[in-house]
């Protein structure tokens, strides 16, 4: 178990973020459960507190500078210096390039890149002061290119460059930064993709599993386990890495 620290997980009302928040709380951290709608965070907070952990719900749009500043200030006041940050909040606005609107491009860049930038900038002030920090950014196998996801692929590749630069700049302050690049994880996000392509979710899962070397799709807990390690004290010599958690290798 790591030293007890304050961890911030964005987009933690559901899916991967929720599993990461629950896991970091089980690891002994107090957790700020951040999502767009504060009331939507209640389920995650209840799951953590029912298991004996400590968590607060924080409503914030990670792409809004003022909301991020207020959220991080509140987290520091209520839970202590946020020195563990998981930038997980994400959206998809898929379309082929010729049909993709500028709004769809900007929205995806806003949540993933602007959001990770704002959250990390706000939290690094505490991390550098505490001489300890762990940043984990959610990338994706889509960073390698994916039909219908010009916006998302660019954002997720951007997350990798952002992560490596954080590792270089903040290492001397005891801060590590790593990215997790999941493959297919069973969440509402992949359910929405199945709906968009007009395939029942169970069929989409079964078809996808056949293409994955370990012959199953991922679960949010698979990502939470990796995040748990990267946020731990013992991961202090792992920095600037992109870990593909996809049931098989990726180039």
Judged by the rule CB under 6 A, the positions of this chain that interact with ligand NAP are: 10-11, 13-17, 35-37, 61-63, 88-91, 111, 115, 138, 140, 182, 184-185, 187-190
The token duo for 203 is 């069929």
What's the closest the beta carbon of residue 75 comes to ligand NAP, in angstroms? 14
What's the closest the beta carbon of residue 136 comes to ligand NAP, in angstroms? 11
Nearer to ligand NAP, 76 or 92 (CB): 92
Give dist(CA 193, CA 171) in Å, integer: 37
Nearer to ligand NAP, 18 or 132 (CB): 18
Give the active site residues.
152
Backbone angles phi, psi at 168, to 5 degrees: -70, -45
What's the closest the beta carbon of residue 67 comes to ligand NAP, in angstroms? 8
Nearer to ligand NAP, 132 or 158 (CB): 158
What's the closest the beta carbon of residue 7 comes to ligand NAP, in angstroms? 16
DSSP 137-192: EE--GGGG--TTBHHHHHHHHHHHHHHHHHHHHHGGGTEEEEEEEE--B-SHHHHH
Give dist(CA 92, CA 227) in Å, integer: 22
Nearer to ligand NAP, 185 or 230 (CB): 185
- As to burial, measured by CB atoms within 10 angstroms (0-12 exposed, 13-18 middle, 19+ buried), residue 101 is exposed
């Amino acid at each position: 178990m790591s030293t007890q620290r304050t961890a911030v997980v964005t987009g933690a009302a559901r899916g991967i973020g929720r599993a990461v928040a629950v896991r970091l709380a089980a690891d002994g951290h107090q957790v700020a459960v951040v999502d767009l709608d504060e009331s939507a965070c209640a389920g995650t907070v209840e799951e953590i507190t029912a298991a004996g952990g400590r968590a607060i719900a924080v409503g914030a749009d990670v792409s809004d500078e003022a909301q991020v500043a207020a959220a991080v200030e509140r987290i520091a006041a209520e839970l202590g210096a946020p020195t563990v940050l998981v930038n997980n909040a994400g959206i998809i606005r898929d379309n082929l390039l010729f049909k993709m609107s500028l709004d769809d491009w900007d929205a995806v860049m806003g949540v993933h890149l602007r959001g990770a930038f704002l959250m990390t900038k706000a939290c690094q002030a505490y991390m550098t002061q505490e001489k300890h920090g762990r940043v984990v950014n959610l990338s994706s196998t889509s960073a390698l290119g994916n039909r219908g996801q010009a916006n998302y692929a660019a954002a997720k590749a951007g997350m990798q460059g952002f992560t490596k630069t954080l590792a270089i700049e903040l290492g001397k302050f005891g801060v590590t930064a790593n990215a997790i690049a999941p493959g297919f994880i069973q969440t509402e996000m992949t359910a929405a993709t199945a709906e968009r392509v007009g395939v029942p979710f169970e069929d989409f899962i079964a078809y996808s599993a056949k293409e994955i070397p370990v012959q199953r799709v991922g679960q949010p807990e698979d990502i939470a386990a990796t995040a748990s390690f990267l946020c731990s004290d013992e991961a202090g010599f792992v920095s600037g890495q992109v870990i593909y958690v996809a049931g098989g290798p990726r180039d």
